[in-house]
Structures are given as structure tokens and as C-alpha cells.
Amino acid sequence: SAVISQKPSRDICQRGTSLTIQCQVDSQVTMMFWYRQQPGQSLTLIATANQGSEATYESGFVIDKFPISRPNLTFSTLTVSNMSPEDSSIYLCSVPYGGLGYTFGSGTRLTVV
């Protein structure tokens, strides 16, 4: 299966600032997915990131708030912009796992104060 390195693992940020989360995959993948998991809740898909094209955002998520970059087939970033305490969550990236579902990063635990 693909191995994902996600950074940072956690951060505490001031409101109004931005945080960029990185995901590095050890193999080339066409699609990467970004999720948010609020405390005690299930995962919510933020967007799908394809290399060489704009990310596709799910309802309730906009590019100005969660800009995504996908410069190549092994790397992607998600930025959480102009943060507020409501953005405190775990953010995860995932990639397809060879026809057997998806592999997930270990997550970034974000606390906004």
C-alpha cells in the first residue's frame, strides 16, 4: 500500500492566521482527497485534488478558505485560511490503495485559539 507522510502532526494557531498541511506519498497517485474530522465526528470530505487541475470542493467548502495545491503526483498541500476556533479539527489526506480502498495519512490535529 502507499505510505503517506503528513505534516505537521499537530499545531496550535492564533485566529486569523493560516496553516498549510502537507501530504507526501511514496508513489505516484492520480487523485488525493482531503478530509476534516471534527471532535467525536466522522470524516467529512473537503475536496478532491487532481494533479494539473483545480481541486473539486464539496458543498460547504470553498477554495478561498481551503486552497489546495497539487504540484505533482506525489505531493499535495491544504491550507486552512483565516482560521477561527470552529476550524479546530483533525485534517487528513488519503489516496487510493490499489483497488482495495484508500490509505490515509495520520492526520493533523489543529487547535485554533
Partner 1 sequence: LAKTTQPISMDSYEGQEVNITCSHNNIATNDYITWYQQFPSQGPRFIIQGYKTKVTNEVASLFIPADRKSSTLSLPRVSLSDTAVYYCLVGDNTGGFKTIFGAGTRLFVKA
Residues that bind partner 1 (CB under 8 A): 1, 29-31, 33, 35, 42-45, 48, 58, 90, 92, 94-107, 109
| In the complex, minimum distance from the CB of residue 96 to partner 1, in angstroms, rounded to a whole number | 2
Q: Which is nearer to partner 1, 17 or 27 (CB)?
A: 27
Calpha distance 87→17 (Å, rounded): 11
From the CB of 16, what's the least distance to partner 1, in Å?
A: 26
Q: What is the CA radius of gyration of the chain?
A: 13
**CA separation for the pair 113, 110 (Å, rounded):** 10
Q: Which residue lies nearer to partner 1 by CB, 3 or 16?
A: 3
Report in angstroms how near the CB of residue 97 gets to partner 1 at its nearest: 6
Grid cell in block for residue 67:
486552497
Per-residue cell: 35: 478530509
Give 71 or 98: the residue with its C-beta nearer to partner 1: 98
Please tell me the distance from the alpha carbon of residue 97 to that of residue 1, in angstroms, as a whole number: 6
